[in-house]
Amino acid sequence: MNYTEAKSKFINTWGSLGTLWGINKAMAQIQSLLFISSEPLSMEEIMEELKISRGNTSMNLRQLIDWGIVSKEFKAGERKEYFTTEKDVQELARIIAKERSRRELQPTIKVLKEVSNITPDGTKETDEFIKQTKAMCELTETADSLLNKMANQQQNWITKSILKIFS
């Protein structure tokens, strides 16, 4: 396999994996392209490489910037904006973990706390509902706590966290 084939396979695989994590394919492909690029890329270069529209590219770049994993760079004498992503895999994973907690787990915990604190009315259905939603809330809080502990570690947080779990 040559470089071009390997690059295409990596970008497509990362795009498919992204959909399993709840982000769209184009967003994951843009991030993966920037991740393996030796230089920051312009929107036009991203569009050409991935064969996606300007609107799709622009919207997904904004989302990646909002997530904190893509940033704009300016080149002297250029009017175009260039984009780059975090290159340190550990830092990238840490940023994503924190953002997923903020966007997904924290709102879920809030709803679970709200629905599990309804007033009991003595029925089996209500008792079961309260019991199960409290259990789900506890599990979600534990997952969020674990994710935040791992995300707050410094370098090699994944390795350190996994070693702590198994030691």
Span 117-146, pLDDT tens digits: 999 999 999 999 999 999 999 999 999 998
Predicted model pTM: 0.76
Q: What average pLDDT does the chain have? A: 89
Give the SS3 label for residue 64: helix
82, β-bridge pairs: 42, 73
Asked if residues 106 and 144 have their Cβ atoms less than 8 Å apart, the reply is: yes
Which residues, other chains included, contact 117 with Cβ-Cβ below 8 Å and sequence gap of 6+?
A: none
User: What is the identity of the amino acid at 30?
Assistant: I
Asked if residues 120 and 126 have their Cβ atoms less than 8 Å apart, the reply is: yes
Tens-place pLDDT, residues 64-117? 999 999 999 988 888 899 999 999 888 888 888 888 888 889 999 999 999 999
Which residues, other chains included, contact 130 with Cβ-Cβ below 8 Å and sequence gap of 6+?
A: 116, 118, 120
Q: Work out the angle at residue 100's Cα, subtended by the Cα atoms of residues 138 and 147, and round it to the nearest 5 degrees.
A: 50
